[in-house]
Every structure is written in C-alpha cells, then in structure tokens.
Structure 1
Amino acid sequence: MFKILAKINKLLLPSFTKQGLDLAKAKKWQLALIGYRFYVTKKALDS
C-alpha cells in the first residue's frame, strides 16, 4: 500500500528539493508535507 502511495505522491505533490527550498525558511504546511512524504517513503522502503 505504501509503495502505491509513494508513487502517487511523486506524481502529484511538489518536490521541494528540486525547487531548492531552505528548511529554515519553509512554511509550516511545507514542513508538514515534507514530513508526510518522508514517512510514506520510509514505510514504502521498509515493506
């Protein structure tokens, strides 16, 4: 399930690393999105 969710995230959600986002200047919603993507990616790799 997490592998499918990770693929959907990759297609739909923005990649902040490609945009060169500085984490110190990121807004709260951007940090939440980064945390969500990290969680899903970590779970997809573990399974």
Structure 2
Amino acid sequence: MYKILAKLNKIILPSFTKQQLDIAKAKKWQMAIIGWRYYVTKRALGN
C-alpha cells in the first residue's frame, strides 16, 4: 500500500528539493508535505 502511495505522492505532490527550498524558510504547509512524503517513503522502503 505504501509503495503505491509513494508513487502517487511523486506524481501529485511538488518536489521541494528540485525547487531548492530552504527548509529553514519553509512554510507550515510545505513542512507538512515534506513530513508526509518522508513518512510514506520510509514506510514504502520497509524501514
């Protein structure tokens, strides 16, 4: 389930690393997306 969700995240959600977003200056909604993507990616990898 998490692997499918990770693929959907990659398609739907923006990639802030490609936009070179500074984490210290990120807004709350951007931090929420980063946290969500991290959580799903970690679960998809099985760690």
Q: Stretches of 4+ moved more than 6 A in 1?
A: none
Aligned length: 47
- Give the alignment's Cα RMSD to 1 decimal: 1.0
In structure 1, runs of 5+ residues without a counterpart are none
TM-score, with structure 2 as normaliser: 0.97
Distance 1:34 1:9 in 2: 11
- Give me the identity figure in percent: 72
The yes-or-no answer on 1:8 pairing with 2:8 is yes
TM-score, with structure 1 as normaliser: 0.97
Q: Which protein is richer in helix relative to its size?
A: 1
